[in-house]
Structure 1
Amino acid sequence: MEVLIILAVLFGALFIVIPLIERSKMRISDEDTAKWAKWIWPLMGILLVAQLLRMLFS
């Protein structure tokens, strides 16, 4: 039952947030997107190593 409640809240939030984002006039430039994108893979690697260490030592 709790899973259904969580799913309902998530879908409700999506139905509220997506139209608000689409109406928003804030746009991110390609340069800003490229700056953020270059950090994604190194951060994911650090996260994976941290999770591996956490699993090994706990």
Structure 2
Amino acid sequence: MGTLLTILAVLFLALLIIIPLAEKYAPKGEGRDYSKITRWIIPLMALVLVLQLFRHYFM
């Protein structure tokens, strides 16, 4: 249990350090076009659902 808490604490501290640095040094470009990504969300979620059902019943 102590090992788990240590790992979680290290991950939390890493996030506290990495996220501000990533936001600070991220390239400042034009806004992204998310329409290309959003058209794939429903089919990918359906695929994940089918794969999880397969995994649940056959493995």
Q: What's the TM-score once normalised by structure 2's chain length? A: 0.71
RMSD: 1.9
Supply the distance in 2 between the matched residues of 1:27 and 1:3 (Cα, whole angstroms). 39
The residue aligned with 1:14 is 15
Aligned-pair identity in percent equals: 46
By percentage of residues, which structure has more helix? 1
Supply the distance in 1 between the matched residues of 2:43 and 2:30 (Cα, whole angstroms). 22
- The structure with the larger Rg is 2
Give 4+ residue runs of structure 1 displaced > 6 Å after superposition.
Answer: none
The residue aligned with 1:29 is 31
Q: How many residues align?
A: 57
Q: Which runs of 5+ in 2 are unaligned?
A: none
